[in-house]
Amino acid sequence: MKICRHFFLLVFLSFFPSVSGQNVLLTGSGNGYKNAELKFFCQTDPITKRLKPILNITCDEKGTFSCAIPYSKNDIIYIKTGIFNLHFYLTDSVRYELNLPDFEAKPMNEEQNPFFTETDLIPEIVSNKQDVNNLIKAFDFDYNPIFNLVAERVFINYKKDEIQQVISKLNKYAGVNEPSFYTDYVKGRMMMLNLIWNQDHDEAMALLNNGFNSGNQALTDLAEQMFSGYLNELSSGLSKESFSRAIATASLSELRSVIQQKSKIANKELIDFIILLNLNEDYYTKNLKGENVRKIISLIKSEGATVFIQNVASTVLDKMDFSLPGNSLPDFLLLNSDGKLMSLKDFRGKYLLLCFGRADNQSSLTELGIINTWKQKFINDVNIAVVLTDKDFESSSRLLKNRGFKDIFLDGSQREKLEFDYDIKMYPSFILTDREGKIIADPCPYPSENLELTLVKLLLVNPVHSGSENR
């Protein structure tokens, strides 16, 4: 099993090139991390904020670890372990020694809870006491409780006259001579706090206009706080006619012009960021025509203000296009319970109901049980493949077979990559493809939502194979 895991990591890293052509070395330790698993991710972009898996490693008997990951300046690296979601910024260093917080295991009953709230922390960077992460960690320690206190008092309209005095406790961080990434971070966070307290947009707008950096999370968070839902405002205000025309004709230049005139934004990168932020929101809420949204984002992909914005547009567009009917799913190469490697191509010629489930997940067992009651009706027309993401595939597939499930089981124990590639957020999840492997529905209805009827209707329209009991 260890050989397979290491092979997976080498293959995955070979497809994860770094922009600067080098890796960064990570080492570290912490109390209680003996044989603890660490899962490393990077954030794909500041719009979708998806976490792309890099690698999984296990700490040694002393609770220490060492690994190399691809380096790209200003990447945010996440480490998930126990109850923690640790994160830190890659800046100029190519070596980081981390001091991890004392380990605390995630409760067993929370292992499969997609809504479990992890503890977000920045680990101490031992190798450089003046590292920007240590500076941000110290600032956040003071800032976060003050932000929460101010937000609460504004919300309930309580002791607002004391807020200025509370905020003044952060004055020690103003005007410090530190790296620009850190000073911009502090300015961005302080502007977010001031917006809650005094609603003064002018100072925040000046900061974004003069120094917006889409690689600094504090500045993108500030832009999101100020401009999330902004297109809805344009669609009902004085710019309604110009905005509607820009969307109807999928005109990026006109949409930029509308935002610039309305907001007096001079920073071109900021304008494109606001457009991407809002189009991404409105695409999934279906407030705007999806085809036109994708056309505008496609234009930003090729004509964006900066290379970074173009790359973000590409990532946002890929996410939108992923589950569109008629598109192909990303392929996989997974072992079945007989030890044979299988890919999506092996299922062509029939419809494919692809299930991502777990043997230790009651909802997965319930839905697969419903499939068991009717799957024989579709045996000539529909393949059913179950990707099991339990850690021990051999045990989980054997358990399901002993309980009467005779489906094709595939080893999904390297689940982080599968969850990212197929955008799996909860278990079970189902995807339905046609005989050529093109998406019909992603996600498709659950068996408990009358998936059987969906398949019956599908085969009435496309009755290709003989012998189906549905015809």
Tell whether pTM > 0.85.
Answer: yes
| Residue 70: cis peptide before it, omega within 30 degrees of 0 | no
Q: Is the pLDDT of residue 427 over 60?
A: yes
Percent of the chain with pLDDT over 90: 80
- Domains contained in the chain, number: 4
Cα dist. 253→243, 258, 300, 303, 386 in Å? 11, 9, 10, 10, 46
- Using one digit for the tens of pLDDT, what is the confidence trace for 224-261? 999 999 999 999 888 999 999 999 999 999 999 999 98
Q: Give residue 463's pLDDT.
A: 67
Q: Give residue 21's pLDDT.
A: 55
Q: Residue 20: which CATH number? A: 2.60.40
**Same domain, yes or no: 43 and 145:** no
Cα dist. 77→185, 372, 453 in Å? 17, 42, 44
**Same domain, yes or no: 427 and 363:** yes
**Domain enclosing residue 282, as ranges:** 230-322
Q: Residue 359: which CATH number? A: 3.40.30.10
In a domain, residue 211? The reply is: no
**Same domain, yes or no: 277 and 345:** no
In a domain, residue 433? The reply is: yes
Band of residue 92 on the pLDDT scale cut at 50, 70, 90:
confident
**Same domain, yes or no: 118 and 158:** no
Q: Give residue 20's pLDDT.
A: 46
Band of residue 301 on the pLDDT scale cut at 50, 70, 90:
very high
Residue 84 — φ and ψ, nearest 5°?
A: -95, 145
**Same domain, yes or no: 359 and 387:** yes
Which of 13-27, 43-57, 157-171, 313-327 comes out lowest in average pLDDT? 13-27
**Same domain, yes or no: 69 and 9:** yes
What length is written for the chain? 471
Taking the mean position of all CA atoms in its chain, how far away is CA 77? 13
In a domain, residue 470? The reply is: no
**Same domain, yes or no: 344 and 383:** yes
Q: How many other C-beta atoms can be found within 10 angstroms of the C-beta atom of residue 304?
A: 23
Q: Give residue 12's pLDDT.
A: 37
Q: Give residue 467's pLDDT.
A: 34
Band of residue 73 on the pLDDT scale cut at 50, 70, 90:
confident
Band of residue 464 on the pLDDT scale cut at 50, 70, 90:
low
Whether the CA torsion 188, 190, 195, 198 is positive or negative: it is negative
Q: Is the pLDDT of residue 353 over 70?
A: yes
How high does pLDDT run on average in the chain? 90
**Same domain, yes or no: 312 and 339:** no
Cα dist. 141→47, 80, 97, 111 in Å? 25, 20, 21, 28
**Same domain, yes or no: 98 and 121:** yes
